[in-house]
Each structure stands twice: as structure tokens, then as C-alpha cells.
Amino acid sequence: MAFLQPLIFAIVTLTVFFLAFKKYRVIYANINLGKDEKIAGDSGTRFKNMMLLAFGQKKMFRNLTPAILHGFIYVAFLFTQIELIEIFIDGFTGIHRFFWYVLPLGGFYTALISFIEILSVLAFVGTIAFLARRNLLKVPRFHMDEMTGWPKLDGNLILFFELILLVGIFSMNTADMALADGKYGFAISGMLYPLIDGLGDTTLHIIERFGWWIHILMVFGFILYLPASKHLHIMLAFPNAYYGPLDGGANKGEIANMPRITEEIKLMMDPSAPMPEEDPNAEPERFGAKDVTDLSWKSLLDAYSCTECGRCSSACPANQTGKLLSPRKIMMDTRDRLEEKGAGLREHGADHDDGKSLFDYISTEELRACTTCNACVEECPVSINPVNIIMELRRYMILEESNSTEEWNLMFNNVETNGAVWKMPASDRTSWINELEAEAEAEDA
């Protein structure tokens, strides 16, 4: 019967990784539905940004309390992977506590597992605190209009999963301590094992295997759950931060020009410039974005990387003054539409048109409310830029559908005729100086 556990474990592991591969391949394919975007810059600087923002969680510490609580869970998650290595070795070979018996690390092993247990207790504190913040304290950014249904359930589910995982860790370690008469010397389970020390060896083995399987099954479940959850940011935060802006904020708020428009303006300014060659059979270029496939792959990666933390919406002046706009909702809607679009293309083929667009998810009122102040970009802990998506949709509205407000049209006309947003010729722009000088002379007289 010794071969039974490795066999079952191998079957379960291979099944999980096969299903996970299919799920993550779909996400990769969906992101690649976006338009190409060339992202230049020094790879060393990008790696540094990634380590600071994604690994070091630099922006989280602007708000210290949730940063510390999140840090408890995050650091525990990282170090628990060490014990997970032992579980995989045990699962495939049947060798239990490999780093104690086969690769004897002695006191270092005891210190390491004890440290993991202490981190796990802190993760328990953080998990309970986050559940309280969401469900008892009702922090406002977790209870905006878009945070109902699945988003609300998703935010709570992962915390309950964390609690179950902790039960598995301590059940396994505590039973192991009792079976070994405490020789491992683990810190927390060393205090717990006297509670079950009187149980028979068979019962203790059952408890240990229960904890072992709970631990690994929760890990496998988490791997399969991530693609449907906001917690996919655990993986995608790293590439998203890597491909994020490098200017350190020097050019924050800069909106990229549309190459076609820039080209036309250059031709207007220099009529002698050579006309670019164009393919007469090519489809007319679309200005802005109507659907997710008109956005860049980086914007689609942004949508999948969204943590739904709501810091962007809490900082948004439009949202905070009662406007309909919520930058978090923009990212969630983009992701939802991308999932829908990708599923349709996979089922019906590359030419499938479901008759829908991103405008079926995001309203004109939301898009017009954005002031492009970039507060959302500044606040996002993983370098997401909702403004890029908003601007592409607004460009489509205005340039393709002539859908803009009377005030905007007046401004556009002024820019076109006067070269400025004001309704006055360039020669009159300094008239106010002469008027002030005249008033000053009159007062002096």
C-alpha cells in the first residue's frame, strides 16, 4: 500500500497542472487579442521597478495599517512555499520531513519551520482583520456599486481559503510533533501538541495526513481558482510592474499622441513633406477604441492585473464628488468584456462578431467624468493605468462618432480657428495686460 499515496498524488498533481495550463493559456491568448504596443526602456531599471512595486509592495505602505496586515499574509505565503517543497517530495516519494531525515538541517530546520509557524499566526491575524474590514467595519471602497455579487464574494472567499490552509498547516505540524514526542521543536505547534498528545498513534497519523492533504489540496484549488479571481494579480503584478512607466513620475499625466493624427499635422505644417505610402486595399484606420481588441495588450494586462482594492476610486476626484466614474469599474468592465470576447472568438472563430462592444459595459457619462488627473495611476500599487483605456474610448466617441458635449465642441472649434481654447484671436491674448496698465496709470493719476 506504500505506493498508493504517491500514485494518487501524482494523478491529482498532473490533473491540476493540466487544467491550470488550459486556464492560464486562455488568459495569455486573451491578452494577446490587444494591439501591439512597443515598450522600450532599460531592462535593469524595469527589473528594479518590478522588485520594488510587485515584490516589495512599495506603494502599499502609503497606508500603513493595511500594508502591515497585507505584509503578514504576503510574507507567510512566500515562506510557506519552503514547507510546500517538502510536501511535494513527500507526495511523490513517500519520504516525510525530507529536510529533517534525509537532508538533515537540524536546528536550522527547526528555526525555519518555527518562523513559518509564527508568520502563519500573523497571517491569521491579518486574515481576520481583513474579513472585519470588509464585513464589519465596511470600509467604503469595498462597498461601492461595482463591488456586489461575485467581486464581493471573491474578496471574502480567498480569506476563508487562507484560514482553511492554516488549519491544514497546524494540523500537520502539531500531529507530527505529537508523533515525534516533540523532538522537532517547532515554536507554535510545540505549544499545541500537548492538547492531542494522549491520542493514539493511528489517530495522530490520521490528523497529520488530514492536515497534509488539506494543505496541498488548498494549494491546488488556489492554482485553479486564480484565473477566475482578482487574486490573479499575485502572478500578473510582476510583468505588469515590469512593463510599467520608467520615468518615476516625471512625465506622469502625459497622454500618448495618435501617430496618424501627428502625421497629418506634420503634413499641414510642412506641405512639402513627402506623403506616406498607403495601401489602397487596407481597411480605414479606427481612431481610439470601440472594443477590447482596439486596446493595447498592456491595457489588457492591466485589466487582468487589477486587485480590485479600490485605491484608485477612493483617490478619484470625479468619484469622490458623486460622479458615476470609478476607475476600478473601468478595469473590471474591461476584463469582463475581454473574457466574453475571447470566449466568443474561441467558440465561433476569429471572424465572430457578437454585436457588442466595450461601450455596452462602460457608459458615456463615466468616460466624460474623467479629468485625466492621473490620481488613479498614482495610487495603483501594481502600475495599472485606467486613464489609457478611458482616453482610447473617448477618442473613439469623438473622432469616430462625433459624440462630444457642446462645451467640448466649442473648445475644439476655438483650438482649430484660434490656436487656443479661448474664443479670441491670438493678437488679442495680451490685451488684458494693456488694460491693467491703463487702470494702474489711472490710479496713479
Q: Residue 1: which pLDDT band, with cuts at 50, 70 and 90?
A: low
Instruction: Identify the three-state secondary structure at position 296.
Output: strand
Whether residue 278 has pLDDT greater than 80 = no
Start and end residues for every CATH 1.10.1060.10 domain found in the chain = 287-402
Q: Average of pLDDT values for 345-369?
A: 94
pLDDT at 251: 59
Confidence of residue 2 (pLDDT cuts 50, 70, 90): low
Residue 426 has phi, psi (to 5 degrees) of: -60, -30
Q: Give the model confidence (pLDDT) of 143-193 as tens digits.
A: 999 999 999 999 999 999 999 999 999 999 999 999 988 889 999 999 998
CA distance 20 to 395: 38
Q: Cα separation of 91 and 76, whole Å? A: 22
CATH class for the region spanning 4-35+42-242:
mainly alpha
Give tens-digit pLDDT for 93-129.
888 888 888 888 888 999 999 999 999 999 999 999 9
pLDDT tier, 375 (very low <50, low <70, confident <90, very high otherwise): very high
Distance (Å, whole) CA 163 – CA 120: 10
pLDDT per position as a tens digit, 131-140 = 999 999 999 9
- Could you tell me what percent of the chain has a pLDDT over 90? 63
Side chain identity at residue 77, one-letter code: F
Quick one: CA torsion of 45, 49, 50, 54, rounded to 10 degrees?
170
How far apart CA 47 and CA 51 sit, in angstroms, is 6
The 3-state DSSP class for residue 35 equals strand
394 has pLDDT over 70: yes
Q: Is the pLDDT of residue 250 over 60?
A: no
User: What are the distances in angstroms from CA 418 to CA 388, 422, 428?
Assistant: 28, 8, 11
pLDDT of residue 166: 94
Classify residue 205 by burial, with Cβ atoms within 10 Å: 0-12, 13-18, 19+: middle
Where do we find the cell 477612493? Answer: 314
Predicted confidence (pLDDT) at residue 245 exceeds the cutoff of 90: no
Every domain of the chain with CATH number 1.20.950 lies at 4-35+42-242
Task: Report the C-alpha dihedral over residues 63, 66, 70, 75, rounded to 10 degrees.
Answer: 60
Q: What pLDDT, on a 0 to 100 scale, did the predictor assign at position 265?
A: 76
Over 70: is that where the pLDDT of 248 sits? no
CATH dotted code for 287-402: 1.10.1060.10
Q: How far apart are the first and last CA of the chain?
A: 111
Residue 344 in grid coordinates? 466568443
Lookup result for grid cell 470600509: 139
Query: Which amino acid is present at 22?
Result: K
pLDDT over 80 (residue 34): yes
Give the tens place of pLDDT for each residue, 51-95.
998 999 888 888 889 999 999 999 999 898 888 999 999 999 888
Over range 403-419, report the average pLDDT: 86
User: What Cα–Cα distance (Å) separates residue 345 from each residue in 289, 304, 416?
Assistant: 18, 18, 41
User: Is it the case that residue 203 has pLDDT exceeding 70?
Assistant: yes
* Of 174, 165, 157, 253, the residue nearest 215 (C-alpha): 165
Cα–Cα–Cα angle for 78, 8, 208, nearest 5°? 60
Whether residue 247 is predicted with pLDDT greater than 80 in this model: the reply is: no
**pLDDT on residue 443:** 78
* Average pLDDT taken over every residue of the chain: 90
Please count the residues of the chain. 445
CA atoms of 311 and 315, how far apart (whole Å): 6
Quick check: 217 pLDDT over 80? yes
